Amino acid sequence: MSVTAAKGFTAAGIAAGIKSNGNPDLALVVNTGPRRAAAGVFTSNRVKAAPVVWSQQVLADGELTAVVLNSGGANACTGPQGFQDTHATAEKVAEVLSKQGTDVGAGEIAVASTGLIGVLLPMDKLLPGVEQAAAELSVHGGEKAAIAIKTTDTVHKTSVVTKDGWTVGGMAKGAGMLAPGLATMLVVLTTDADVDAAGLDGALRGATRVTFDRVDSDGCMSTNDTVLLLASGASGTTPAPDEFTEAVRDVCDDLARQLIGDAEGASKDIRIEVINAATEDDAVEVGRSIARNNLLKCAIHGEDPNWGRVLSAIGTTAAAFEPDRLNVAINGVWVCRNGSVGEDRELVDMRFREVTITADLAAGSESAVIWANDLTADYVHENSAYSS
């Protein structure tokens, strides 16, 4: 049900011709109210795509009426023309929605794009596509919207949590250039809970900090990452803040796991648990260092419990630890104890897709989980094809 699981939203997904292969490439999500509160988090990459710059501006007042998303082109590193194109897209959405009776300006329309960096969007196809998408808006359109934002994703990703009288739902795309801050991904979450912009912002930041921000498939940070949360208030229910944050986090966590599970070329999902750290920041730093070690990622691909590569990754961090007190388990077998040889590595069973690496820093009581993928020849092939 995706973004239309919550009451007060319509959506559509169509093929506008932005992708040369004719696949769906344009999605529209509209908040039909009564409330139009919204919050967003965006890539921390300093090179930001035009739609990111635009959407950050229009979100400043905590209100959004609609989100238009395209795959088939990131509109990043496209200069002033790229920003004009984003602006024109928002104007077009406002124009067609106004014709349908929703009085709205471009300043209430967020824009998100994904695809190749450094290429202008084909506006002659995109703008007519907006008209077509608006004509197909439906309370059943969530699935089609989720399909239209796919790039190298092999499956579309949706998630829904329903509580007592209110719902949080969403859709996500992302399969490569997937690393914290956030992952290369577009995510739209919707809720019919009656929550104001400040409440949405707090819940969204709390949720993304421990979900999307802890996904690190390939260490590469995107120019286009966007996560939006829109509230229609259509349920008439205002949940307790903690309960609402938990529901948003559950949807984010589910979508984040779906991103890792569909990462480009990956054959393993690696759950990296860092335990007994002095601080949560230390745990996250160590987890990311392990997640980004290419030699370890290759070893996991080869089902080799090569714990020496885990230690060499930990050793590059500034986290509090003593090298001769480090312990490492792979799938529950403590192959490294006190910085040296532990249980027999032959005991480690790595046949299944999910692999758990536990790094015990023996320096405190904080912990964090980072999700990563292995490094495979398929990843290389998928990303070395010309202008993939």
CA distances from 259 to 215, 218, 295, 388 (A): 8, 12, 22, 18
C-beta of 123: minimal distance to its own copies in Å?
15
Of the candidates 365, 362, 285, 380, the one whose C-alpha atom is nearest the C-alpha of residue 326 is 362
Nearer to its own copies, 76 or 333 (CB): 76
d(CA 189, CA 90): 19
Buried b (16+ CB within 10 A) or exposed e, 69-103: bbbbbbbbebeeebbebbbbbbbbbbbbbeeeebe
Of the candidates 307, 315, 374, the one whose C-alpha atom is nearest the C-alpha of residue 343 is 307
C-beta of 138: minimal distance to its own copies in Å?
35
Nearer to its own copies, 79 or 236 (CB): 79
Nearer to its own copies, 34 or 323 (CB): 323
d(CA 367, CA 232): 36
d(CA 239, CA 55): 27
C-beta of 385: minimal distance to its own copies in Å?
6
C-beta of 270: minimal distance to its own copies in Å?
14
Q: 1: which 2 tokens?
A: 């049900």
217 is annotated as contributing to ligand binding: no
383 is annotated as contributing to ligand binding: yes
Tokens 């602006």 belong to 87
Nearer to its own copies, 71 or 222 (CB): 222
**Interface with its own copies (CB under 8 A):** 45-48, 74, 76-79, 81-82, 116-120, 176-177, 181, 218-223, 292-295, 298-299, 301-304, 306-309, 311-317, 321, 323-324, 326, 336, 338-341, 375-377, 379-388
Residues 6+ apart with CB under 8 A from 227: 40, 41, 42, 182, 185, 186, 187, 189, 204, 208, 212, 252
Which residues, listed in sequence order, are joined to residue 187 by a DSSP beta bridge? 172, 227
Q: In what order do the strands lie in the sheet with 215-216?
A: 215-216, 366-373, 269-277, 354-360, 327-330, 333-337, 340-341
Tokens 């959004």 belong to 64
C-beta of 178: minimal distance to its own copies in Å?
10
**Has 245 been annotated as catalytic?**
no
C-beta of 73: minimal distance to its own copies in Å?
11
CB atoms within 10 A of CB 388: 12
208 is annotated as contributing to ligand binding: no
Nearer to its own copies, 20 or 384 (CB): 384
Quote the DSSP letter at residue 358. E
Nearer to its own copies, 202 or 219 (CB): 219
| Residue tagged active-site, from 184, 208, 211, 245 | 184
Quote the DSSP letter at residue 19. S
Enumerate the H helices of the chain as residue ranges.
50-58, 79-99, 123-135, 142-148, 197-209, 241-261, 280-291, 294-301, 307-314, 377-384
Bind-site residues: 151, 173, 184, 264, 383, 388
Bind-site residues for substrate: 151, 173, 184, 264, 383, 388
As annotated, the active-site residues are 184
